[in-house]
Amino acid sequence: MASRPTISKAVIPAAGLGTRFLPATKATPKEMLPVVDKPAIQYVVEEAVSAGLDDVLMI
């Protein structure tokens, strides 16, 4: 049985204007909107790092 390659990179789609969150996204990107005590994107990045990923790319 062949071994699987190790995944070390994550690509996180973080694009768009966030028009459904207006007026909150007028001054702040939707990825940076606070969820409890941290920006929303921070939860995603922390989860990727805890899964052992080395590189995180946001597009």
Is there a domain that residue 39 lies in? yes
The pTM assigned to this predicted structure is: 0.79
Is there a domain that residue 8 lies in? no
Is there a domain that residue 42 lies in? yes
Range of the domain at 33: 25-59
Is there a domain that residue 3 lies in? no
Is there a domain that residue 17 lies in? no
Is there a domain that residue 9 lies in? no
Read off the pLDDT band of 33 (50, 70, 90). very high
**Domains in the chain, number:** 1
Is there a domain that residue 58 lies in? yes
Residue 9's beta-bridge partner residues? 55
- What pLDDT, on a 0 to 100 scale, did the predictor assign at position 1? 64
10's torsion region: left (phi>0), alpha (psi -120 to 50) or beta? beta
Cβ atoms within 10 Å, residue 16: 12
Is there a domain that residue 14 lies in? no
Residue type, 39: P
* Tokens linked to 9: 């990179």
With the C-alpha atoms ordered 32, 16, 53, 9, is the resulting torsion angle positive or negative?
negative
